[in-house]
Copies of this chain bind each other. A is one copy, B any other.
């Protein structure tokens, strides 16, 4: 579990670095699919990761909109701020939390329940999925995307 979060954080940081070399018009340009722009995707990833973890913790909802963070620097700063709580939660994860229920009661009275372990994996897959979208948009503007390889990042040390 932690391995995938660390993978995602490394890849996300590499995308922020990639963004440094791209004009801000391209980062903000409306694109087909996903949430619509490169920078909005990075905001959305950080937002969704933080929001689910807040939901499990019973903390206040994160309701800021992308329009409040319209530049690369602002999104990165927000991400760094949210990461603090996310990282603490991920580091403290243990297997007893896997099936803990998360009740989601909607305003209309309907409800559903997720296992915390599902939610954590949902957050992981959510990021990787959106990063895949960035890789297509990168090629559309003629640039090589960040590698999505999980190997070669030193995430698990082989017992050699």
- Using a CB–CB distance below 8 Å, which chain A residues touch chain B? 3-4, 7, 31-34, 98-102, 112-119, 121-122, 124-126, 128-133, 135-140, 145, 148-152, 155-160
Residue on B nearest A102 in the bound complex, by CB: B158
Task: Note all chain B residues with C-beta closer than 8 A to A118.
Answer: 3, 150-151, 155-156, 158
Each complex incorporates copies of this chain amounting to 2
Task: Note all chain B residues with C-beta closer than 8 A to A114.
Answer: 151-152, 158
Question: Is A125 a contact partner of B7 (Cβ separation < 8 A)?
Answer: yes
- A129 and B131 in contact (CB under 8 A), knowing A136-B34, A158-B100? yes
Task: Note all chain B residues with C-beta closer than 8 A to A119.
Answer: 151
Task: Note all chain B residues with C-beta closer than 8 A to A33.
Answer: 135-140, 145
* Selected contact of A121 from candidates B3, B98, B117, B131, CB within 8 Å: B3
Distance (whole angstroms) from the CB of A114 to the closest CB of chain B: 5
